[in-house]
Amino acid sequence: MKINEIMTKDVICVKEDTPILEIAEIVSEKKIHGVPVVDENDKVVGIITETDFFTKDSSNMVYMPSMIDFIKKGKMNYPEGEEEKEALGEIIHAKARDIMTPKCETVSPDLEVEDFIKIIKEKSFNSYPVVDENGVLLGIITVADAIKLL
């Protein structure tokens, strides 16, 4: 069985200049693990996964979609210092290109599922954009898709 037989073909993706607020809403609302980032020709240039939304804040982890939602609804106390205000502004105004993992791992639609499982074991990623020979997005496959076959 090949990847193109089990991949999701209707892929939610974003452009490099998509605002992080929009991406956070997509990830939250659609309950997806990641979104490929594509250029104007639908060529995959990166990926944003759930872990890209986590930031280390001295002693705790902050989940950015929740934090962004808090900020947008005015439920969060805004920082007093200039540095904190600037950092918060950078988060709110960030674009996909600012947090994406560039040159992400991709797979071919003709890859055998057994070979995909080997890649999963080696790389430990959850989502893999499926691309043609030119790097154009055709679909996406996740670890969950492969597990369904077992």
The per-residue pLDDT for 58 is: 38
The pLDDT value recorded for residue 124 is 78
74 backbone φψ class: left, alpha, beta (φ>0; ψ -120 to 50): left
Judged by DSSP in three states, 15 sits in strand
**103 Cβ contact list (under 8 Å, min separation 6):** 45, 46
CATH number 3.40.350.10 given to 3-147: no
Give pTM, 2 decimals.
Answer: 0.78
Res 18: pLDDT: 95
Q: Which of 60, 48, 58, 57 is nearest to 21 (CA)?
A: 48
For the chain, the domains span 3-147
**In b/e form, how buried is each residue of 56-76, taking b as 16+ CB within 10 angstroms?**
eeeeeeeebbebbbebeeeee
Across the chain, which has 150 residues, the per-10-residue mean pLDDT values are 94 94 85 91 93 54 53 54 58 83 92 92 89 96 84
Please give the pLDDT value at position 40: 96
Residue 115, exposed/middle/buried by CB under 10 A (0-12, 13-18, 19+)?
Answer: middle
Please say whether the beta carbons of 60 and 51 come within 8 A. Answer: no
